[in-house]
Structure 1
Amino acid sequence: MRETIITRDMVANPKTHYGDAKASTRHFVTQRVTGLVNVVFLGFLLFIVVRLAGQDRADMVAVIGNPIVGIIFSVLIAVVAVHMRNGMRDTLEDYFSGRMYRLVMLLNTLFCLIVGFVAIGSVLKIVFWG
């Protein structure tokens, strides 16, 4: 596979096209939507944290063990994992290219999947097994 080298002249000329416009737009929209959802869920998270302040483990398990709260937390974790992956992608794009870029993107995706699955699994364990 041959890589195209992007020069300063190509970037300065608005008539040249490089990159994948649809993927970039999807990434931009996904980052903004997940950020907005995170802000909305932050209110719920703060409510739960304040509600559980000073409580013992049994009270925490009772609150998080509620299926509705568990589902909301699971959705929150999934959205945060997607947002984290996209945010790290933005940073990694600035520092890597070529084969190393593909490797760090793969590692970034795997890390976010592992964190998301472990966190969602932990919440579901509390919901179903206490």
Structure 2
Amino acid sequence: MREQIVSKATIANPKSKYGDANASTRHFILQRLSGVSNIVFLGFLIFIVVRLAGQDRAEMVEVIGNAWIGLPFAVLLVIVTLHMHNGMRDILEDYFAGRTYSLYMMLNTMWTLAIAVIGVFSILKLVFWG
């Protein structure tokens, strides 16, 4: 695949069409919404950490195994990995292009998906099967 060479003048010109405007707006809004929800869930996460400080494993399993704690914790994990994926996409877009960018984006997607799936499965296992 051929890479498109774009000059600084093309990027700086507000009338030039550079990139996908809809995807960029959607990405911007998604990044801000996931960031705000991370701030909201931060209080919940701090509550869990303080509640479990100094407890043994059985107490930790009991607290996270509670559906009122485990299910929001699973949602938090999904939102955090989505936010992480989008943030890494920004970095990869800035520093890589072509095949290297595609490879790193694929690895980024696989890594964040693995974290989300393994983490959510582990939490749901505690909630539903103890």
TM category (shorter chain) comes to: over 0.9
Quote the residue 1:72 is aligned against.
Answer: 72
Question: Aligned with 1:48: secondary structure?
Answer: helix
- The residue that corresponds to 2:15 in the other structure is 15
Root mean square deviation of aligned Cα: 1.2
Q: What CA distance in whole angstroms lies between the structure 1 residues aligned with 2:12 and 2:88? A: 26
Determine the C-alpha separation between the residues in 2 that align with 1:126 and 1:85.
26
**Does the residue aligned with 1:15 lie in a helix, a strand or coil?**
coil
CA distance in 1 between partners of 2:96 and 2:54 (Å): 46
Deviation at 1:11, TM superposition (A): 1.6
* Residue correspondence of structure 1 range 87-126 to structure 2 within 5 A: 87-126=87-126
Number of positions where the alignment pairs a residue of Structure 1 with one of Structure 2: 130
TM-score, length of structure 1 as denominator length: 0.94
Residue 111 of structure 1 aligns to which amino acid in structure 2?
W
- TM-score, length of structure 2 as denominator length: 0.94
Pair 1:6-2:6 in alignment? yes
Matched residues in 2 for 1:6 and 1:100: separation?
A: 18
| Distance in 2 of aligned mates of 1:113 and 1:68 | 24
1:50-69 map, 5 Å: 50-69=50-69
Alignment gaps of 5+ in structure 1: none
In structure 2, the partner of 1:49 is 49
